[in-house]
Amino acid sequence: MLLRAQDNPFYRLITLPIPEGIVLEGGGLTTLPSGDIALVTRHGDAWIVENPYMEGNQPPHYRRFASGLHEPLGLAWHDGTLWVTQRGELTRLWDKNGDGRADFYESVYRWPLTGNYHEYSYGPAVGPDGQLYVTANVGFFNPEWWRGQSEVPWRGWTLRISPSGEMEPYAAGMRSPNGYGFIDGEFFYADNQGDWMGSGGLVHLEKGDFAGHPASLRWAEHPQSPLQITQADIFAQVDPQLTPEGAPPFKPENDPDGAVLPLYELARELPGVKTPAVWLPHGVLGISTGQFLADTTEGAFGPFAGQVFVSDQGQSKISRIFLEKVDGVYQGASFGFFDGFASGAMRLSWGRDGSLFVAQTNRGWGSTGREPFALQRLVWTGKIPFEIQAVRAMPDGFELSFTRPVDKGTAADPASYALSSFIYKYHPVYGSPAVNLEEGQVRYAEVSRDGLKVRLVVDGLREGYIHELRAEGVRDYTDGQPPLHPTAYYTLNRRPQGDTLAIPAGARAAHHHHPAPAEAAPAPVPTPRPRPAGQLAKNQTTLPAHWTEGPDLTIRLSTKPGLQFDVQDMTVEAGTRIRLIFNNPDDMPHNFLLLRPGQADKVGKAALALGVKGMAMDYVPEMDEVLYHSKLLQPATNQTIYLEAPSEPGVYPYVCTYPGHYVSMRGVLRVK
C-alpha cells in the first residue's frame, strides 16, 4: 500500500517556509543544544534556523551564520562549535565575539583536490571518542569518464581526524559515500550504485576495511594506509576491463551470460573486504542514498526505536532498516517507510521533540520531488501503523515482529507469504541487475500467543544473499488491513546456529507459486495486443523491410545533466517514418519511452513497481500505453530505433523511466 504524503495518517509532513532569496539547498544539517537547527547549503552558506517548530504559530527565523564555504556536504555540532566538511577541508566555525555570526574559520585539516566535479567530501561524523570522520568521493576524468579514479590521496577513503588536526586513513573502497555516521557507537557508511557498486547499502566499517571500489587502493601501500589489500589482489579475482594502452577508450558493459562474482564471494577469498550489512535494492528502496540516522527518540517517532532511517535523494523518500548481529556480524532487513518529500531527501536530524528534520536539494542530481530545495519536518501523529517491525534470522527461517497484533488465521497460513533471493554482480560496470534469482518456500508459520510475532520455517536460505520476504496475505487483527509496507529485504550475511522449529504433524503447508521479486505486487496491466503484420515492434532496431525508401526523418536525441533530454519539444506530421538516434552522454543510465497522451505518470509509476526485476526489463513495463522504447542505455552508449508517428494528432509524451527520473525527464512529440 503506497500512501501519498498528504494522506498518511501516521506521520505528518510539515514544510518550513523559506524566505524569498534564500537558496536552501541542504548539504548538511544538525540540531543545536537550544533545539534550533543549523544547516549548510551547497552554495556555501551556513544558516541557523530559529523556532523551526513554528511555535506560537510563528514562522521560523533564518540567520546567516557563515558564508563563502566550498560546497559543504556535512555539518556537526561538537565541543561547543559547528564543524563543516568542505570539498577539501574540515573546518571549525567559531563565533568568538558572540554576535551570532562566525568570525573565525579554523582550518582543522586539508586534503588535496584535482578540481574534478565529482570530488565531493562528506561529514564529519563525531565518534564516541571525539574523533571526526570524513568520507570522500572518487573522481571521474576524461577520456574514461565512466571509471571512478582516485587521482590524489585520499579519494574513496574514510579519514579519521582529531580535533587538533591529526589525520589517519581509516578505511577504503568507497565510491560516493554520501551517508556517514555512528550506530550504537560503531561507524557505518552508505554508498550509491555505480561502477563496482551493484546497488546502495549500509556498510559497517572498521579500521582497515575495504568496501569494494578499487580506485582507492591506489594508496593502499602508502605508509599511512591500514589496508592489507591491493589493487592487484582485486584485479586477480575480477577483470577491471581497462582500456589497453594505445587503444581508444573502452567502456565496460554488463555481460548477461558472463560469470557472476558477488562481493560476498570476494570477501571469502580476501579478508578485509567488507560487504553491506544491509543492501538497499536499487530502484526499490532508492537510487541515490543520502543520510542515515539511528532512532534515538525512545518512541517519540513511533514504534521503531533503535532502528535506522535512510534518506534517498533521487527518490525523495526515507527507508527503514532493522539491524542485528549474528556471530558478531551486522545484518538485517530494509523496508519502505515514507515517500513524497518536496525535493531530494539529503540530510536528517532529530528535533528536540523527536520529530525528524529533512534538508533537501535536487540541483544537478534530479529527484522525484520537484522542488529545487526544501526543509521539511516529519512528525509522528501518535497512531501506530500496521507494519513488519523487525525481521530476525533463524536457523531455519525468519521471525517477523509486527507493530500490532496480526489476524492469526492469515498469519499462520504459509500461503500469506512469498520468499525469493537474489544478489548483485561485483564488476566494473555501472550497477548490476539482480542476478542468481531463486524462489524459496515458506513451509510453516507459527504465531505467538500475543499475535505480535510469527516464526517462519522456510526452504531456500542462502548466505550472502538478499532475501525478499513478502507478507501481503497477513492481516491486522483489528481492521483486517495488510501491512503498510508488506515487503522486507533481509541481507543474510550469517545463518544463525541453534535449534530449528519442529513442524507439527498435519500443519498447513504452502500451495502457491511465488512470484519473482518486486517491491510489491504491481497493479495488473493489460497484456499487449499482437501487432499486425507490417507494424513496427516497440523496440525496432533495424530498418523496417517495408520502408523501401528509408525514413522520412532522422531525429537525434541526447540526455544532458540534471535529468533532462536535450530536446523537449518536437513536432511531426502524423504517420512520419522516424529514425531516432538516442545518445546517452550522461553519467547514469537512461531510456526513452514514447507514450500515449497523458500517460507519463501512470507508466513511470508502473516502471517503479517493477522493483528488482526492473533492470532486466530496461525499466519498460509491458503495457499498451507504451508505444515505442529504447533499451536502457548505460553512460556513453547509444541506440538507433525506428518508429512511426501515431496516425491520430495529439501531444505524445516521451519520458525516461529509470527509477525516479520520470517526474522531471520528459518531452513531448506533437503530432499534426
> Tens of pLDDT along 484-523?
999 999 999 999 999 999 999 877 766 544 444 433 334 3
**Ramachandran angles phi, psi of 564, nearest 5°:** -140, 150
Strand bridging mode 132-136 / 121-126: antiparallel
Rounded Cα distance between 295 and 183, Å, is 9
Type of residue at 611? G
Q: What does 225-279 look like in DSSP terms, one character per residue?
A: ------HHHHHTTS---PPPTTSPP------TTS----HHHHHHHSTTB---SEE
Sign of CA dihedral 373, 28, 68, 32: positive
Mean pLDDT value across the chain? 93
pLDDT of residue 368: 84
Type of residue at 562? G
Identify the burial level of 516 via C-beta atoms within 10 angstroms of its C-beta, where 0-12 means exposed, 13-18 middle and 19 or more buried.
middle
Spatial CA neighbour of 444 closest among 418, 398, 471, 412: 412
pLDDT of residue 355: 98
- What does the buried/exposed string (b/e) look like for 423-456 if buried means 16 or more CB atoms within 10 Å of the residue's CB? bbbbbbbbbbbbbebebbbbbbbbbbeebbbbbb
Distances in whole angstroms, Cα of residue 377 to Cα of each of 53, 67, 89, 345, 357 = 8, 25, 30, 11, 4
**DSSP code, position 201:** E
Rounded Cα distance between 601 and 413, Å, is 36
Strand bridging mode 345-350 / 553-560: unpaired
Distances in whole angstroms, Cα of residue 635 to Cα of each of 145, 251, 585, 632 = 9, 9, 6, 10
The cell for 70 is 566550498
Q: 284: phi > 0 → left, psi -120 to 50 → alpha, else beta; which?
A: alpha
CB neighbours of residue 373 within 10 Å:
23
Rounded Cα distance between 594 and 649, Å, is 14
Rounded Cα distance between 80 and 88, Å, is 23
Average pLDDT of the residues in 603-622: 88
pLDDT at 200 over 50: yes
Give residue 399's pLDDT band: very low, low, confident or very high (50, 70, 90): very high
Average pLDDT of the residues in 368-376: 93
Q: Which contacts of 48-53 are long-range, i.e. CB under 8 A and separated by 24 or more positions?
A: 48/100, 49/16, 49/375, 52/16, 52/351, 52/357, 52/375, 52/377, 53/351, 53/352, 53/353, 53/355, 53/377
Listed in sequence order, the residues at least 6 apart from 637 whose beta carbon sits closer than 8 Å to its beta carbon are 251, 253, 584
Model pLDDT for residues 266-280, shown as the tens digit of each residue: 999 999 999 999 999
Average pLDDT of the residues in 326-349: 97
Spatial CA neighbour of 283 closest among 595, 5, 522: 522
Spatial CA neighbour of 339 closest among 193, 519, 602: 519
Identify the burial level of 44 via C-beta atoms within 10 angstroms of its C-beta, where 0-12 means exposed, 13-18 middle and 19 or more buried.
middle
pLDDT at 574 over 60: yes
Distances in whole angstroms, Cα of residue 222 to Cα of each of 140, 217, 226 = 22, 9, 9
The cell for 627 is 508505444
Rounded Cα distance between 315 and 253, Å, is 25
Query: Please, what is the Cα angle at 344 between 339 and 348, to 5 degrees?
Result: 80
The cell for 573 is 506530421
How many helices (H) and strands (E) would you count in the chain? 4, 43
438 membership: H or E segment, kind and range = strand 434-439
Model pLDDT for residues 46-90, shown as the tens digit of each residue: 999 999 999 999 999 999 999 999 999 999 999 999 999 999 999
| Window from 385-389, 450-454, 462-466, 532-536 with minimum mean pLDDT | 532-536
Strand bridging mode 388-394 / 26-31: unpaired
Give residue 113's pLDDT band: very low, low, confident or very high (50, 70, 90): very high
Listed in sequence order, the residues at least 6 apart from 526 whose beta carbon sits closer than 8 Å to its beta carbon are 623, 624
Give the residue with greater pLDDT, 340 vs 368. 340
How long, in residues, is the chain? 672
Contact 458, 396 (CB under 8 A): yes
Q: Which domains does the chain have, with CATH numbers?
A: 5-238+278-380 (2.120.10.30), 388-491 (2.60.40.1220), 553-671 (2.60.40.420)
Contact 522, 610 (CB under 8 A): yes
Three-state secondary-structure class, residue 214: helix
Contact 579, 554 (CB under 8 A): yes
Q: Report the predicted TM-score, pTM, of the whole model to 2 decimal places.
A: 0.88
The cell for 225 is 594506509
Model pLDDT for residues 543-555, shown as the tens digit of each residue: 999 999 999 999 9
Rounded Cα distance between 375 and 157, Å, is 30
Give residue 582's pLDDT band: very low, low, confident or very high (50, 70, 90): very high
pLDDT of residue 634: 85
Give residue 2's pLDDT band: very low, low, confident or very high (50, 70, 90): low
pLDDT at 259 over 90: no
Contact 512, 494 (CB under 8 A): no
Distances in whole angstroms, Cα of residue 158 to Cα of each of 136, 277, 439, 517, 542 = 7, 17, 38, 34, 49
Give residue 664's pLDDT band: very low, low, confident or very high (50, 70, 90): confident
Question: Which residues on neighbouring strands pair with residue 492, listed in sequence order?
Answer: none
pLDDT of residue 511: 53
